């Protein structure tokens, strides 16, 4: 059986923006043929499962231009160059929600769309939350929500919660509550 690798033989960066880089690569496949790959390069991100003392999940609602609608998500954000994932998680939680966490625990990490992107998302659980003021980035508009499990289920059924990281967080929360 041939080794499952692809050797890059040529690479061209088509776009380098603030958030992503788009590369087109010519690759040699295991059978020797040549193919093109369009790849999105991303610095990585974090997402935070934050549960209040009274058992509600802290979520944010924001407009997502790619979807042309607002959706409800767990707090999340892009890692800065050289920034450790835990530091990003703390920063994003405060920026988007105003909450500070006494402790953060890494739950898992996953690739969002490995067929064309290298974005790796680290998911943390935040405990010992203390409410403070949001510190939104310029041009960022976010509504903070604190919702029960039943409210989250209803919003997921309505398609208002409709992204993988938040669906994962809800399943994690439900499983943890049933232990």
Alpha-carbon distance of 124 to 5, in angstroms, equals 32
- Contacts (Cβ under 8 Å, ≥6 apart) of 170: 57, 149, 152, 153, 156, 161
Quote the pTM value: 0.93
Give the three-class secondary structure for 151.
helix
Domains of the chain: 7-41 (no CATH), 45-177 (3.90.79.10)
127: how many CB neighbours lie within 10 A of its CB?
14
Task: Please pick, among 138, 146, 151, 156, the residue that the annotation labels catalytic.
Answer: 138
Q: Is 138 a catalytic residue?
A: yes
Q: How far apart, in Å, do the first and last CA atoms of the chain sit?
A: 44
Tens of each residue's pLDDT in the chain, 179 residues: 678 999 999 999 999 999 999 999 999 999 999 999 999 999 999 999 999 999 999 999 999 999 999 999 999 999 998 999 999 999 999 999 999 999 999 999 999 999 999 999 999 999 999 999 888 888 889 999 999 999 999 999 999 999 999 999 999 999 988 87
- Contacts (Cβ under 8 Å, ≥6 apart) of 168: 110, 123
């Amino acid at each position: 059986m041939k080794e499952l690798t692809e050797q890059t033989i040529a690479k061209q960066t088509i776009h380098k923006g603030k958030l992503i880089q788009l590369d087109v690569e010519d690759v040699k496949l295991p059978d020797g043929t040549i193919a093109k790959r369009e790849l999105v390069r991303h610095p990585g991100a974090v997402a935070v499962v934050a549960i209040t003392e009274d058992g509600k999940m802290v979520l944010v609602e924001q407009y997502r231009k790619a979807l042309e609608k607002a959706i409800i998500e767990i707090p999340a954000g892009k890692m800065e160059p050289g920034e450790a994932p835990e530091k990003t998680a703390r920063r994003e939680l405060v920026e988007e929600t105003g909450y500070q966490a006494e402790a953060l625990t890494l739950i898992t990490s996953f690739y969002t769309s490995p067929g064309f992107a290298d974005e790796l998302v680290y998911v943390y659980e935040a405990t010992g939350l203390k409410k403070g003021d949001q510190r939104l980035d310029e041009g960022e508009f976010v509504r903070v929500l604190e919702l029960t499990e039943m409210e989250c289920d209803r919003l997921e059924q309505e398609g208002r919660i409709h992204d993988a990281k938040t669906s994962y967080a809800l399943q994690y929360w439900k499983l943890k509550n049933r232990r």
